[in-house]
Amino acid sequence: MLTSGCGTRPDERAAPATDRPTGTLPAAPALPPATLPDLSHMTDSVRDQILELDRAVAEKTGNLDIQPAERSAAYGEMANLLMAARCFEAAERYYLHAQALAPAEIRWPYYLGHLYRTTGELRKSAESFERALALKGDDGTILLRLGEAYLAEGRPERAEPSFAKALSLQPGSVAAQFGLGRVSLARQDFATAASHLREALRLDPRAAGVHYPLAMAYRAMGDRAQAESHLRQWRQVEIPVADPLMRELDDLLQSPAAYESRGVRALDSGNWAAAAEHFKKGIELAPKSPSLRHRLGTAMFMMGDAAGALGQFDEALRLSPKFALAHYSVGVLMETSGRPTEAIARFTAAVSHEPSYIEARLRLAGALGRSGRLNDALSQYEEIIRIDPRVADARYGQAVTLVRLQRYQDALDHLSDDMKTFDQPSFALALARVLAAAPDDRVRDGRRAMAVMQALTPEQRGLDSGETMAMMFAEVGQFEEAVAWQRGAVEQAQRAGRHDVARRLAETLRLYERRQPCRTPWGADEMLP
């Protein structure tokens, strides 16, 4: 739902709705008049949309010969549009009239529950969701919303049965596990809280909002390492709930921002064509919007139309020359089309206009490294770490760039620290490679490399760890094992069609067959940061 600056309109500016005999309707005699808000601050498209619907609503609600259910639907339709436009006070009035005329219709109390939650009227929100649940007691979405309302009120004992029933209806519900975890946290049952929250992350590892309460549970149990690990992974994002009624509401407005919002949802779901159509509709209403141009370019790129995407990105930059996102996107296009110098220039422009743009700095560092500008790449990784020490990719890129600069001891020190800080096997795998194959005799330690690899599960080692295992066995003199692991890596590369990689691996295999260890942690063909 999108901001459009609603306010209460003075009585003398009331829409025709004020002349309707709503005050005399027997279904809602005590309700305040359902009148429109001040529309003067809205975009033209949204204002016209509301006024057009208002005329249709007036015809139905002012005619007592029309059935109450139909008049209720008219009030509800206007309420939905006003709520989508974030005109909550006016939307509430229309919803109340709709609910009074059709008390068995589930939509009106459900939408009121969301409205009151947004305006901070938590008791009213819970009461409205309770009313909706009374009409449809087996609806998992309503149960989840009611549980959230109870938690927001500070009533975990009321929230628990709602979340538990929702989970019984939807066994794979991340939101239900998340809710039960926070209920247990409020009760100081930290072990149960951690169990529910871990399950939520198992169901959806991308649910970054789960990490904070899970960190609190671990902290309360005295597990500081796990608490810090989850705090680093936390992002303030909502846990998604499948909510068809709210989706209908979100799709009502005909404004540039509304079309952009719908397009972003389509992008997130991988529906590139639908996203492009939404962005095009937004551009029809706001042709000078650099954001919409950039979004459309992104959708076109995902559809395989690189030329069309570049055209949209260039237009976005014509409209807004300092638009960092557009510079970044052009840089990605240049990089993927084999034009590294132009890519570096674009990424540099992106970070000059937005210095804290982490993703652009990561791309810039990678492009600089692949172009042989290793010290410049290292400087970018160090700047990212200064901005946000939690960025694991920057830590990894820094370590591997140090290896490429032949600063093996520095790389070893960083990887040893990072392996303890970040719960990611890539750091352990990189550390094992440095220990097994660094040309510096002072750094190399095959036994320690073996200990690092043995501490990883097969899943953590991954399918591509065969080369690392071979390096490790060769360094400790177990060349038969090294040959077996390296042959497996060669065969895997051949099956994947990575023939250049297979040739390099075969060269190293011949070293092991001659009982010689490897002294190259990474090959030149490998995608280094």
Distance between CA atoms of residues 219 and 210, nearest Å? 14
Rounded Cα–Cα distance for residues 35 and 91 (Å): 9
| Residue 224 exposure: Cα atoms within 13 Å on the Cβ side | 1
- Which residues, including other chains, have CB under 8 Å from residue 76's CB and lie 6 or more apart? 94, 95, 98, 105, 107, 108, 111
Q: What pLDDT does 423 receive?
A: 78
Give me the pLDDT at residue 524, please. 62
One digit per residue, the tens of pLDDT, for the chain of length 529 reads 444 456 544 333 233 333 443 334 344 457 899 999 999 988 888 999 999 999 999 999 888 889 999 999 999 999 999 999 999 999 999 999 999 999 999 999 999 999 999 999 999 999 999 999 999 999 999 999 999 999 999 999 999 999 999 999 999 999 999 999 999 999 999 999 999 999 999 999 989 999 999 999 999 999 988 998 899 889 888 898 999 999 888 888 888 988 998 899 899 888 999 999 999 999 999 999 999 999 999 999 999 999 999 999 999 999 999 999 999 999 999 999 999 999 999 999 999 999 999 999 999 999 999 999 999 999 999 999 999 998 999 999 999 999 999 999 999 999 999 988 887 888 999 999 999 999 999 999 999 999 999 888 887 777 668 999 999 999 999 999 999 999 999 999 899 898 888 999 999 999 999 999 999 998 765 545 5
Give the DSSP H/E element, type plus range, for residue 360.
helix 358-370
CB 107 within 8 A of CB 245: yes
| Nearest-angstrom CA–CA distance, 414 and 399 | 6
178: its two tokens:
């998340």
Extents of the domains making up the chain: 1-105, 417-529
SS3 assignment, position 499:
helix
Burial class (CB in 10 A: 0-12, 13-18, 19+), 161: middle
Residue 413 CB neighbour total at 10 angstroms: 14
Question: How many Å apart are CA 500 and CA 506, to the nearest integer?
Answer: 10
Query: CA-based Rg of the chain, rounded to a whole angstrom?
Result: 30
CA atoms of 315 and 334, how far apart (whole Å): 16
Q: Where are the beta strands (DSSP E) in 86-172?
A: none
Residues 472/432, Cβ–Cβ less than 8 Å: yes
Residue 124 to residues 110, 156, 210, 249, 259, Cα–Cα distance (Å): 11, 17, 27, 20, 31
Cα-Cα-Cα-Cα torsion 170, 174, 175, 179, nearest 10 degrees, comes to 100
Give the Cα separation of 149 and 133 in Å (integer). 13
Asked if 9 and 40 count as a contact pair (C-beta separation under 8 A), the reply is: no
7: three-class secondary structure by DSSP:
strand
| Residues 378 and 404 sit within 8 Å (Cβ to Cβ) | no
Pick from 427, 445, 426, 425: nearest CA to 435: 445
Give all strands (DSSP E) within 365-422, no chain letters.
none
Please say whether the beta carbons of 90 and 36 come within 8 A.
Answer: yes
CATH classification code of 1-105:
1.25.40
User: How wide is the angle at C-alpha 142 spanned by C-alphas 141 and 145, nearest 5°?
Assistant: 90
Residue type, 424: Q
Give the pLDDT of residue 25: 38
Longest distance between any two alpha carbons in the chain, whole Å: 98
What is the reported pLDDT for 64? Answer: 87
**What's the pLDDT tens digit per position in 230-284?**
998 898 888 989 999 998 888 888 889 889 988 998 998 889 999 999 999 999 9
| CA 292 – CA 227 distance, rounded (Å) | 40
- Taken as a whole, the chain contains a residue count of 529
Tokens 């009121």 locate to: 112
Q: How many CA atoms lie within 13 A of 232 on its CB side?
A: 17
Count the neighbouring beta carbons within 10 Å of the beta carbon of residue 304: 9
Give the integer Cα–Cα distance in Å for 289 and 43: 14
The pTM for the full model equals 0.69
pLDDT digit string (tens) for 448-485? 999 999 888 887 777 668 999 999 999 999 999 999 99
CA atoms of 317 and 321, how far apart (whole Å):
4
| Contacts for 369-376: CB closer than 8 Å, 24+ residues apart | 369/397, 369/401, 369/404, 369/528, 369/529, 370/340, 370/528, 371/340, 371/341, 371/344, 374/401, 374/404, 374/405, 375/405
CA dist 462 to 429, 466, 483, 492, Å? Answer: 10, 9, 19, 12
Exposed/middle/buried for residue 514 (C-beta within 10 Å: 0-12, 13-18, 19+): exposed
Separation of alpha carbons 190 and 219, rounded Å: 9
C-alpha to C-alpha distance for 380 and 150, rounded to whole angstroms: 47
> 146: how many CB neighbours lie within 10 A of its CB?
27
Phi, psi of 514 (to 5 degrees): -90, 10
